[in-house]
Amino acid sequence: MPPKFSTAHKRLLRELKEITKNPIDGIIASPLNDNDLFHWRCIITGPNDTPYEFGIFEAILNFPSDYPLSPPTMKFLTPIFHPNIYKDGKVCISILHSPGNDPLNYESADERWGPLQSIEKILLSVSSMIADPNPNSPANIDAAVLWRNNKDKYNETVKKLVIDSLSL
């Protein structure tokens, strides 16, 4: 873990204060414990008017020691069936991809991570991604195929996981 007053530590502390002062609707995020700003627990509620609505999805954000120069990683702990979330829960979204040009030329450099991004922007982007999947860049092929070919079955699968997320 970096020293307490590293650039990363100061930035994470500033972002924590901002999120505490101005909470994001439907999202809770904070460090796992008071002694470590580099590992956060997040709760994201399913966006309204989507099959994820009413779901409660827990995730972990892990920040590198050179944050904000490099992006954090995000992984859902609650099972979530989504084209842009790997089966192990790891989130695949442009804002969390390393800065610079995409070697596959799929996304532009300005869509990828940059030091001006923030925890708030990450969480809002992930919430938006949950509501509006990108099946053309899938992390979960099965979810992407089902989303494209059989939306009813896709929605049914998602809604079952939503119920499970509520432990009902």
- So what's the pLDDT on residue 136? 85
> What distance in Å separates the CA atoms of residue 100 and residue 162, rounded to the nearest whole number?
36
Domain range list for the chain: 7-165
**pTM of the shown model:** 0.90
- So what's the pLDDT on residue 158? 97
What amino acid is encoded at 109 in this protein? A
Mean pLDDT of 119-148: 94
Average pLDDT, the chain: 90
Confidence category of residue 94, pLDDT binned at 50, 70, 90: confident
What CATH number should be reported for the domain whose range is 7-165? Answer: 3.10.110.10
- So what's the pLDDT on residue 2? 53
- So what's the pLDDT on residue 1? 53
Check pLDDT > 90 for residue 3. no
- So what's the pLDDT on residue 36? 92
Check pLDDT > 90 for residue 113. no
Q: Which residues are catalytic?
A: 92
> What b/e sequence results for 115-140 when a residue is b if at least 16 CB atoms lie within 10 Å of its CB, and e otherwise?
eebbbbebbbbbbebbeebbbeebbb
**Contact present, 122 and 63 (Cβ < 8 Å):** no
pLDDT digits (tens, 9 = 90+) for 7-62: 999 999 999 999 999 999 999 999 999 889 999 999 999 999 999 999 999 999 99
> What distance in Å separates the CA atoms of residue 44 and residue 59, rounded to the nearest whole number?
8
